[in-house]
Amino acid sequence: MSDDFSDLPESERPRESGREARSRHRAVPSGRFARFSTFGKLVGGVAGGMAAEGARRLTSGERISTRDLILTPGNAKRLTERLSHLRGAAMKMGQMISLDAGEFLPEELAKIIATLRDQAHFMPAKQLDGVLKSEWGNDWRRQFKWFNPRPIAAASIGQVHKALTRDGQLLAIKVQYPGVAKSIDSDVDNVMTLLRVAGFAPPELEVDKLLAAAKKQLHEEADYEREGQQMQLYRDKLADEPGFVVPRLHEDLTRGSILAMSFEEGVDIEELGKEPAERRDEVFGHLLRLVARELFEFGVMQTDPNFANFQYRRDTGEIVLLDFGACRPVDPDVANGYRKMLKAGLVGNRDEVRQATLDAGFMQPVVVEKHGERVDKMIDIVVNEMRRDAPFDFGDRAFIPELREEGFEIAQDKDTWAFPPIETLFVQRKVSGTALLGARLKAQVNIRRIVEDVLASTEPMKTKAA
């Protein structure tokens, strides 16, 4: 297979030069030794960068800490470059760091690491052809009028190609990078080692459960047949819901490492920010309602809030939902815990919010015992913002620094360090990631009305104990 575009319609042919295209080809290390070697080069490069930065600071008489030595722009560039080369679980975890910790990193470093969300490296044609032959057979081309060898998107676990079948179906075909599924466990362990050294995972925290959950989720994301089933589930649940488009699964062409679906037109979701305020607020309101329905009605949630998983249709105002690999069942206890907290928050009952938070395991009793005033202050800030019967301005994040300050002071106390229930972390990541998108779009939506409506139209979930 080569980058031969002669069979493609003019609209599908690349507009860049051959040199530009070749610079974006990069084979994915698929063998265990090759991936381990890449991690070794990363560690060596980071160590060298630490030594140089340490020498500079000693010479200038500056204070030295391990975390400061690691989180230099040079080391951030090394991290992004190597993780984008590895792709797979290694790059996925880097993306999660850039999204979840972006507000807590220095601006320059956050921008460098954030490039992991938009990496455009893709497999060389020979490596791509090998994957397609292994899944579809040597004569796989016979199924298509044309198959564009240049991907329209390249992410952490796979890249997406546009193709037209013999019977006229325009498809988006996601092809998994070779070796990423087998390397998940070792990649997660290696990245976590780097995070521990950088101070992101202090030794006082027991992270075994978190690592096990991360590995399980990534193995599920690497199973494209499972993702196809989740995509079909969302298509069924949203069949009568205006405002959303879910691709249609092409079952005959889908395999464990190939996901075939209808190609759906759309632009980056951030383009919605250029629309008039009324349209912007209406569309983002649909997305907020979807998150609430996932939590309290569907019993399943797509837990990856990466902006690339949403696209926008200017002509209809619809949101195209993409990437269902991170779908997971919502624990009934978690859903009911959020229900109790929100109901108490809507009536402004601080004591009930605090107790619901403790009952659900979202916060440990020792936190309230030692830092009760700070906890109550944080509850008051959130409750006062969400219970107002008026549009909430996601672009106005003036209250965030105050929340961060209180949370930071509590976090300094190692006696309070503990992970909340793992299932809570996935839900909270989706909620906070959606809020971050709202901030990027500068949307204004009446959160109270949406929450009240969804809570009123749903019942508490039945738990295992019930």
- 375-384, 404-413, 434-443, 448-457, range with the lowest pLDDT: 404-413
Same domain for 207 and 330: no
Same domain for 340 and 208: no
Note whether residue 418 is domain-resident: yes
Give pLDDT, residue 101: 42
Same domain for 282 and 211: no
C-alpha distances in angstroms, 356 versus 171, 268, 340, 384, 446?
46, 38, 6, 17, 24
Q: What is the extent of the structural domain holding 412?
A: 268-466
Same domain for 440 and 381: yes
pLDDT at residue 398 above 90?
no
Using DSSP's 3-state secondary structure scheme, residue 105 falls into: coil
pLDDT at residue 103 above 80?
no
pLDDT digits (tens, 9 = 90+) for 88-102: 444 454 444 444 444
Nearest-angstrom CA–CA distance, 437 and 305: 8
pLDDT at residue 335 above 90?
yes
Q: How far is CA 72 from the centre of its chain?
A: 24
Note whether residue 98 is domain-resident: yes
C-alpha distances in angstroms, 327 versus 232, 234, 268, 308, 418?
12, 10, 21, 15, 25
Same domain for 350 and 209: no
Give pLDDT, residue 146: 97
Q: How many domains is the chain partitioned into structurally?
A: 2
Note whether residue 40 is domain-resident: yes
Note whether residue 143 is domain-resident: no
Same domain for 325 and 207: no
pLDDT digits (tens, 9 = 90+) for 248-269: 999 999 999 999 999 999 999 9
Same domain for 272 and 212: no
- 119-128, 219-228, 359-368, 402-411, range with the lowest pLDDT: 119-128
Note whether residue 423 is domain-resident: yes
Averaging pLDDT over each range in 25-39, 63-77, 127-141, 186-200, which range is the top one?
127-141
Catalytic residue, from 223, 268, 281, 304: name it.
Answer: 304
Using DSSP's 3-state secondary structure scheme, residue 101 falls into: coil
Give percent above pLDDT 90 in the chain: 47
Q: Which residue has the higher pLDDT, 452 or 113?
A: 452
Using DSSP's 3-state secondary structure scheme, residue 6 falls into: coil
Give pLDDT, residue 141: 95
Q: Please give the angle made by the CA atoms of 232, 233 and 235, to the nearest 5 degrees.
A: 60
pLDDT at residue 54 above 50?
no
Give pLDDT, residue 20: 47
Same domain for 322 and 193: no
pLDDT digits (tens, 9 = 90+) for 278-330: 999 999 999 999 999 999 999 999 998 888 899 999 999 999 999 999 899 99
Note whether residue 99 is domain-resident: yes
- Model confidence at 224, in pLDDT bands (50, 70, 90)? very high
Same domain for 197 and 286: no
Q: Which runs of consecutive H residues, i.e. helices, occur in 137-221?
A: 184-198, 208-221
Note whether residue 195 is domain-resident: yes
Give pLDDT, residue 415: 78
Same domain for 196 and 327: no
pLDDT digits (tens, 9 = 90+) for 171-207: 999 999 888 888 788 777 776 766 666 555 555 556 6
What's the rounded mean pLDDT across residues 37-41? 47
Give the CB-side neighbour count of residue 430, counting CA atoms within 13 A: 25
What's the rounded mean pLDDT across residues 397-423? 79
The answer to whether 304 is a known catalytic residue is yes
Dihedral sign for Cα 142, 144, 145, 150, please: negative
Q: Is there a contact between 299 and 330 (Cβ–Cβ < 8 Å)?
A: yes
Nearest-angstrom CA–CA distance, 388 and 439: 18
Give percent above pLDDT 70 in the chain: 71
Same domain for 308 and 209: no
Which helix or strand (DSSP H or E) is residue 52 part of? helix 32-60
Give pLDDT, residue 267: 96
Assigned token pair, 447: 């959160």
Nearest-angstrom CA–CA distance, 93 and 105: 16
Buried b (16+ CB within 10 A) or exposed e, 26-55: bbbbbeeeebeebbeebbebbeebbeebee
Note whether residue 134 is domain-resident: no
Give pLDDT, residue 202: 55
Same domain for 274 and 187: no
What's the rounded mean pLDDT across residues 389-406? 86
This prediction's pTM: 0.79
